[in-house]
Structure 1
């Protein structure tokens, strides 16, 4: 298959997934932590709308801000379908004649640009599928084609900050490609909840912390030894965090690693503070979490030493 076919298949699969988004799912989290479902779809539709004028020879300056903002309107599925069809119709002729296109980093071959589009549709299609609970079955021929193309470009993408750190240890071709793009093939919405909780602790934001916990949440602290103290209910748990951040000078939580398996998660963290002598003290520990309905219902904390 050639890149035009890769693009057609990947974009059609994306349109199919957009049609499956439920009315209450547009605000749900995605593997792209900065985007919810609607923002993810809007990004891809925006890429499709840019494709037509760029391949017709217009520049980014020509287009300006005409494609900024919300592009989905009241009918995202139709917006995605129409944009994909227009993009598909625009790619064949420029690729066949070896045309070039003006991108943000300069002049590029049209075929290379369409490879970029196909890859983005493929990976974001997986993002969308796992976000809405749809089957995340990527076309194996498109996966192989994009993997071959991406092999020599991965370092360039990562060096430019376009993708995260590579995840290793996968034998399945789809999982390997997702890992190369910095995706965890096992991602679920629970990963997003754990990430938001870690970010809230990193900021010391008690309101944000409690927004990620259930009303009947349970917290088991690290002291006194050997069993800690069990705190039950959101109000009592909130008091624990208010005391911790309010009474600890320079309190800082940093997430070192998190692993999510179904409704359970393990988070390794480092907690540091300002000592009286001006030095930083710290301890390292783990949380064992239980999740329910996208929130943390149980947080059992353990610390080294």
Structure 2
């Protein structure tokens, strides 16, 4: 399993999905209850930059991980950060390095293959978040979904998922005969059938 190839596939798919956003979509709700689409993309962009910093040995600086300022062109900002992290992961020798990821632990570092696995899983799930906010479905092959499920089932499902800073919600019971991507989502507390809540109708003016 080439984790860098899998990660690249997930990241490029997230960018393809985001290319379909229109100016009217940035305030749309997402499966991440605390974030609208613009806030989610600011987080995703910042995480790309944080992982790129970690690949360069600068991950311990928490400021590298903050949500990004997206400016007037959020898609352009996101694509630039995606290119940055993919280039960082592709550098020769990166797989022999250790990544500092202070949002997960300040007491230890992580082998590059493990850290890139974190990134891969995050962008499979966040790519789906963006897709659902836009009312579309992601295009991920079976190999990507199956690899993501391996990583998802390794995420501890304990009290650490209950706090306000938890990365994932407690797991859900998947429906019978759920597809592989739906199993990933349920394992990480996402509702696979999530759709944006209906906007209340505006009362007629008299």
TM-score bracket for the superposition, by shorter chain length: 0.7 to 0.9
Matching residue of 2:99: 101
TM-score of the pair, normalised by structure 2: 0.85
Decide which structure has greater helix share: 2
Decide which structure has greater strand share: 1
Matching residue of 2:113: 111
Q: CA deviation at 1:213?
A: 4.0
Matching residue of 2:15: 15
Larger mean CA deviation between 132-141 and 180-189 belongs to 132-141
Q: For the aligned residues, what is the CA RMSD?
A: 2.4
Name the CA shift for 1:150/1:135 in 2 (closer, same or farther; >3 Å): closer
Matching residue of 2:153: 151
Higher relative contact order (Cα pairs below 8 Å, separated by 6+ residues): 2
Q: Is the 8 A contact 1:52 1:86 kept in 2?
A: yes
Deviations 1:130-187 (A, max 9, x none): 1112233333211111211232224266377321121213321111111111111110
Matching residue of 1:187: 194
Give 1:133-282 correspondences, 5 Å limit.
Answer: 133-155=135-157, 158=161, 161-170=166-175, 171=177, 172-190=179-197, 213-216=200-203
Deviations 1:31-90 (A, max 9, x none): 0010000011111111111122211111423xx536645432111111111111111111
What is the rounded CA distance, in whole Å, between the counterparts of 1:146 and 1:69 in structure 2?
A: 24
TM-score of the pair, normalised by structure 1: 0.59
Aligned length: 196
Q: Is the 8 A contact 2:162 2:169 kept in 1?
A: no
Name stretches of at least 5 consecutive residues in structure 1 with no aligned partner.
194-211, 217-232, 235-305
What is the rounded CA distance, in whole Å, between the counterparts of 1:165 and 1:66 in structure 2?
A: 28
Name the CA shift for 1:158/1:138 in 2 (closer, same or farther; >3 Å): farther
Name the CA shift for 1:126/1:69 in 2 (closer, same or farther; >3 Å): closer
Q: Secondary structure at the match of 2:109?
A: strand
Q: Which has the larger radius of gyration?
A: 1
Q: Is the 8 A contact 1:52 1:87 kept in 2?
A: yes
